Amino acid sequence: MAAIIELGVDIFFVLTGKRGEDITPRPGTSVRKQDGTVLKVYEGEPQSEADRNPPGDDLISLPFYQDVAASAGPGAVSPSDHADSVIAFGRSFLRDQGAVPEKCSVIWARGDSMAPTIPDASLLIVDLSQAEIANGCIMVINIGEDLLVKRIRRRLDGLVDLISDNPAYPPETIGPDMMRQLRVVGRVVYFCRTP
C-alpha cells in the first residue's frame, strides 16, 4: 500500500472508487474526506490494541498481508501468516458490507479468472469469521497448498463448484476426494481495484 501511495495514486479512489480531494496521503497520515470517511495508512504490524483500533470515527486497523495473494487463476500459496502493515477502515463501513470488522484482513488477488468483477492486483478485504460455504458468494479458500478467490456454489449432490467470473475459465467441481482438503478462509466483503 505504501508503494501505491508513493507513486502518487489517489488512495481514496483505490479504496472507494471515489476521487479524493487531490490528496496523496503518506504512511502515518490521516485524511478525512467531506463525507466523513477517514483513512489512515500505517507501516508495520499493529503492536497494541490502540494500533488495531486507532482513535476517531470508529476506525479499525485491518492487518494487511502484503506477501499473501489469493489466486484468481490456477492457485497461489500463502507464504506468510505475518501482517506487514495495516490499513484503517471505518467499522460502520465494514458492517454495512456484512462483515465483522474485528475479523477482517486485507490480502491481494492475483490473476484474471475473477475479472471483470475482481481485476488482477486488487486488494481484498476478507471476513475470516465467515468461514462456511455461502452459495453465490465470493470466498477465499484453501485447497491443499493453493489459496484461491472464487465464487462458490454448493450443489444438491453435495459437491461444490468453484466459479470464475471470467467466462474464459470454466467452473471447477470439487469432488468428495478433494472436499477433505477444502478449507474456507473467509468471505470477500469488499475489494479495491488498483491501477
Q: How far is CA 162 from CA 32, 47, 113, in A?
A: 39, 37, 11
For the chain, first and last CA: distance in Å? 12
Q: Do the beta carbons of residue 100 and residue 115 sit within 8 Å?
A: no
Question: Looking at residue 7, what is its pLDDT?
Answer: 46
**DSSP sequence for 25-57:** --TT-EEE-TTS-EEEEEES---SHHHHS-SST
- Strands 85-90 and 122-127, by their bridges, are unpaired
- Preceding peptide of 46 cis, ω within 30°: no
Residue 77 CA to residue 145 CA, distance in Å, equals 6
Q: According to DSSP H, which parts of the chain are helical?
A: 2-6, 11-16, 49-52, 91-96, 176-179
Domain boundaries, the chain: 2-192
Please check whether the domain covering 2-192 is classified as CATH 3.40.50.300: no
Reported as a single tens digit per residue, the pLDDT across 89-143 is 999 999 999 999 999 999 999 999 999 999 999 999 999 999 999 999 999 999 9
pLDDT value at residue 56: 60
52-61, 115-124, 125-134, 145-154: segment of lowest average pLDDT:
52-61
> What is residue 19's predicted lDDT score, i.e. its pLDDT?
47
Are 136 and 153 spatial neighbours (Cβ–Cβ below 8 Å)? yes
Average the pLDDT over each of 22-36, 71-85, 173-187 and give the range with the smallest value: 22-36
pTM beyond 0.85: the answer is no
